[in-house]
């Protein structure tokens, strides 16, 4: 059971307004696609940024930017799920939101697929994994910076080899096979992680600290 945070803990984050992108799902028995966000995100944000407002953004292309602007969004989370290239409407939405955020110096966190989106947008690429260390497992991080956990969950099917990292990005942690697990864009508040902070139980101290550093309103 989640206990509401004391008001004194909510105060630093009450002006944070985050937009979260959503995955595309196929509705069984219905000829339609639906946008979805894992309920894990609501629980994680309640702990990491108590008092912050957050908005799930539909896969509406440029319309997603208009929605973010209408709600005065000042932080962007590109969430996981769906490989790049599978659902064009999601690709277009996240590309539009990322360029919008970059133009306004809005902090961006990319999680799993979201990290891959950032890399693609800045000129990098990915390749398919052969399973092993990345397929529904947990593994340690190597060559890691202090802000990253010692070990992480892993669910992704596409990996980011070091020579596939966009030239402007800096690696902050590697998987045991040498692929990139975390990175940042120097001089900007843009970070990508290949693990899922919202799926940790209990939530990792490093992940919570990252959210607070990126999205504390006085830094925005």
pLDDT of residue 29: 83
pLDDT of residue 2: 38
pLDDT of residue 27: 80
CA distance 32 to 11: 41
Enzyme catalytic residues: 112, 196, 198
For the chain, list residues with pLDDT below 70: 1-10, 130-135, 217-220
CA distance 58 to 4: 28
CA distance 220 to 15: 10
**Between β-strands 170-174 and 158-159, what pairing exists: parallel, antiparallel or unpaired?**
unpaired
pLDDT of residue 170: 98
pLDDT of residue 220: 38
Q: Cα Rg for the chain, rounded, in angstroms?
A: 17
Q: What is residue 12's DSSP assignment?
A: G
Q: What is the token pair recorded at 169?
A: 């990005």
């Amino acid at each position: 059971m989640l206990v509401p945070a004391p008001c004194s803990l909510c105060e630093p984050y009450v002006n944070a307004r985050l937009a979260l992108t959503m995955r595309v799902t196929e509705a069984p028995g219905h000829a339609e696609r639906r946008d979805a966000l894992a309920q894990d995100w609501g629980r994680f944000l309640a702990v990491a940024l108590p008092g912050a407002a957050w908005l799930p953004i539909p896969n509406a292309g440029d319309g997603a930017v208009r929605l973010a602007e209408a709600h005065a969004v000042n932080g962007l989370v590109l969430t996981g799920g769906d490989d790049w290239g599978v659902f064009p409407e999601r690709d277009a939405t996240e590309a539009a939101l990322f360029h919008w955020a970059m133009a306004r110096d809005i902090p961006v966190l990319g999680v799993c697929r979201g990290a891959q989106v950032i890399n693609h947008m800045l000129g990098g690429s990915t390749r398919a994994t052969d399973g092993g260390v990345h397929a529904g497992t947990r593994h340690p991080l190597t060559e890691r910076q202090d802000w990253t956990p010692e070990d992480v969950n892993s669910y992704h099917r596409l990996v980011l080899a070091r020579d596939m990292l966009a030239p402007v990005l800096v690696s902050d942690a590697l998987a045991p096979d040498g692929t990139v697990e975390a990175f940042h864009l120097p001089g900007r508040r843009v970070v990508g992680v290949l693990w899922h902070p919202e799926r940790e139980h209990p939530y990792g101290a490093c992940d919570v600290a990252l959210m607070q550093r990126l999205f504390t309103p006085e830094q925005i």
